[in-house]
């Protein structure tokens, strides 16, 4: 059996967090937070600082005692086990390598605490270092290797113990951009290869969307939404998620008409607010009754510019207020009667730029597909 196969056996356990709360004072508290992580899943906790994601992670690791709720690992209570007996992997943002030990001694630390025999220890340390691509650096000191290498050593130090669950606390934030992207792919590849159940804490939405099987978006100590990256991006269920993940036009409105099959007319708030046609897709829930408040979420890339086809649904003429070239994408702020300022974006291709330039000082035709408008509670 190869080293990786051996590791695969140990590193799959499911995690359940049920009604976890942590009160710091009468004003500051986290929770209740509930989520499940399936065997072998890469699950992210995403949110701004102070949202409770780190507290949740520290409760799982055992460094914080929850005020209420329970945590189960593979169906067994975890929150009653002392931190040093939980046998979970944990990688810190600061790497937290022991500066007085060599790379190999760092990786072998957990094994030596468990009194694993020296020969076996050497073999497993070598396997773990090879796994993260640092087979030759065992005799170096942590200060002598780069930040990216330190990160891998920290990872190897956890993985060598074959933890049923790996916790990652913003492990990529201390690296520079290029390295971060590289480590992101590598971490994900390794996680899939091992089938390692992983909980990843981050404030970086790109990281969370790119790496996760599923993620939970947190705000103010609560979970806003749990879903796959696509669900979170395409079908946010709260205003916070819509605004936090990517960019979004969020238009306050009321339901004007309700038709069949998820079709509705939405009157945008404000004087002379236009009526937008909305067609909800499967899994987006039912349209609320007419008269109720709702908000429309429209991603900038779904606002189509310069569409010269026959009049279709949701078509306006708009003034261009502002153009921002972001390299790959171009972002345009539009103003149309009966609508608040609208953000649109498109790939900076030659034809798209030419179309934008061709408008001269006049207005531009803008279209939003009814299926690209998403409803959230107002």
Partner 1 sequence: MHGSSTALRVLATLVFAFLLAPLLVVVLVSFSPTPAFRIPTTEFSLDWYRKFFGMAQFRDGLFLVSLPVALASGSLATLLGTLAAVYLVRSGLASRAAMESFFMLPLLIPSILLGAALYLVAARMGVAGQAWTLVLGHTLLGVPYVIRVVGAGLVAIDPRLEEAAVNLGCTSRQAFLRVVLPLLKPAMFSGAIFAFIVSFSDVNLALFVAGPGTTTLPIHVFSQIFWEGDPTIAAASALQILVVGVLILTMQRLLKLRLSL
Binding site for partner 1 (CB under 8 A): 61-63, 83-90, 92, 94, 96, 98-100, 109-110, 113-114, 143, 157-158, 161
Q: How far is the CB of 231 from partner 1 (least distance, A)?
A: 32
Burial code of 27-57, b = ≥16 C-beta within 10 A, e = fewer? Answer: eebbbbbebebeebbbbbbbbeeebbbbbbb
Tell the smallest beta-carbon distance from residue 77 to partner 1 (Å): 19
Contact of 347 with 355, CB cutoff 8 Å: no
Find tokens 């916790």 and name the residue: 167
What is the closest distance, in whole angstroms, from the C-beta atom of residue 238 to partner 1 in the complex? Answer: 33
Strand partners, 43: 199, 214
Residue 196 CB, nearest approach to partner 1 (Å): 16
Our CB check for partner 1 shows the closer of 89 and 148 to be 89
Question: What are the residues whose beta carbons fall under 8 Å from the beta carbon of 169, sequence distance 6 or more?
Answer: 54, 57, 90, 91, 92, 93, 201
Distance CA 152, CA 229 (A): 26
CB of 42 to partner 1, least distance (A): 20
The residue count for the chain: 378
Query: Can you list the alpha helix ranges (DSSP code H) found in 160-203?
Result: 177-194
**CB-wise, 105 or 252, nearer to partner 1?**
105
By beta-carbon proximity to partner 1, the closer residue of 98 and 325 is 98
Nearer to partner 1, 99 or 291 (CB): 99
Which residue in 357, 358, 355, 329 sits closest to 344, CA to CA? 329
Residues 82 and 254: beta-carbon distance below 8 Å: no
DSSP state at residue 171: T
Query: Which one, 62 or 148, has the nearer CB to partner 1?
Result: 62
Tell me whether residue 161 or residue 376 sits nearer to partner 1 (CB atom). Answer: 161
CB of 115 to partner 1, least distance (A): 10
**Cβ distance to partner 1 smaller for residue 24 or 98:** 98
CA dihedral angle for residue 83, residue 85, residue 90, residue 95, rounded to 10 degrees: 80
Task: Give how far the C-alpha of residue 34 lies from the chain's centroid of Cα atoms, to the nearest Å.
Answer: 17
Given the complex with partner 1, which of 82 and 289 has the nearer CB atom? Answer: 82
CB of residue 94 to partner 1, shortest distance in Å: 6
Q: Which residue has the tokens 């590791």?
A: 7
The strand pair at 263-268 and 275-279 is best described as antiparallel
Closest to partner 1 by CB, 99 or 310: 99
Task: State the minimum distance, in angstroms, from the CB of residue 359 to partner 1.
Answer: 55
Residue 292: CB atoms within 10 Å:
12
Is the preceding omega at residue 32 within 30 degrees of 0, hence cis?
yes
Write down the least CB distance from residue 111 to partner 1, Å. 9
User: Could you tell me if 295 and 288 are in contact, meaning their C-beta atoms sit under 8 angstroms apart?
Assistant: no
CA distance 51 to 48: 6
Distance, in Å, from the CA atom of 354 to the CA atom of 333, rounded to the nearest integer, reads 17
Residue 84 CB, shortest distance to partner 1, in Å, is 5
In the bound state with partner 1, the residue whose beta carbon lies nearer, of 124 and 234, is 124
Q: Do 366 and 301 form a contact (C-beta atoms < 8 A)? A: no
């Amino acid at each position: 059996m190869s080293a990786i196969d051996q590791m695969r056996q140990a590193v799959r356990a499911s995690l359940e967090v049920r009604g976890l709360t942590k009160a710091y004072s009468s004003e500051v508290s986290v929770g209740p937070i509930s989520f499940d992580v399936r065997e072998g899943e890469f699950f992210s906790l995403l949110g701004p600082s102070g949202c409770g994601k780190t507290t949740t992670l520290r409760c799982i690791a055992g460094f914080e005692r929850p005020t209420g709720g329970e945590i189960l690992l593979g169906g067994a209570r975890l929150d009653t086990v002392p931190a040093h007996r939980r046998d979970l992997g944990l990688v810190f943002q600061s790497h937290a390598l022991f500066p007085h030990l060599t790379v190999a001694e760092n990786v072998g630390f957990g094994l030596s605490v468990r009194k694993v025999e020296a020969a076996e220890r050497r073999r497993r340390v070598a396997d773990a270092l090879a796994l993260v691509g640092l087979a030759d650096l065992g005799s170096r000191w942590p200060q002598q290797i780069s930040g990216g290498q330190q990160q891998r050593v920290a990872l190897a130090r956890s993985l060598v113990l074959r933890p049923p669950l790996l916790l990652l606390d913003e492990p990529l934030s201390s690296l520079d951009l290029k390295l971060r992207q590289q480590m992101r792919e590598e971490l994900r590849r390794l996680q899939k290869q091992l089938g390692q159940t992983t909980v990843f804490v981050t404030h970086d939405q790109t990281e969370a969307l790119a790496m996760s099987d599923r993620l939970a978006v947190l705000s103010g100590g609560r979970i806003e939404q749990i879903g796959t990256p696509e669900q979170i991006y395409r079908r946010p269920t709260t205003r916070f998620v819509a605004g936090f993940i990517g960019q979004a036009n969020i238009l306050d409105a009321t339901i004007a008409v309700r038709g069949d099959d998820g079709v509705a007319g939405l009157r945008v708030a404000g004087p002379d607010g236009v009526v937008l046609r909305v067609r909800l897709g499967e899994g987006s829930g039912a349209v609320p009754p007419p008269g109720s408040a709702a908000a429309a979420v429209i991603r900038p890339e779904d606002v189509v510019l310069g569409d010269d086809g026959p009049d279709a649904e949701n078509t306006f003429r708009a003034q261009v207020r502002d153009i921002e070239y972001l390299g790959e994408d171009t972002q345009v702020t539009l103003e149309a009667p009966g609508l608040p300022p609208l953000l649109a974006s498109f790939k900076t291709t030659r034809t798209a730029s030419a179309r934008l330039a061709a408008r001269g000082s006049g207005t531009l035709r803008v279209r939003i597909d009814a299926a690209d408008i998403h409803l959230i509670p107002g």
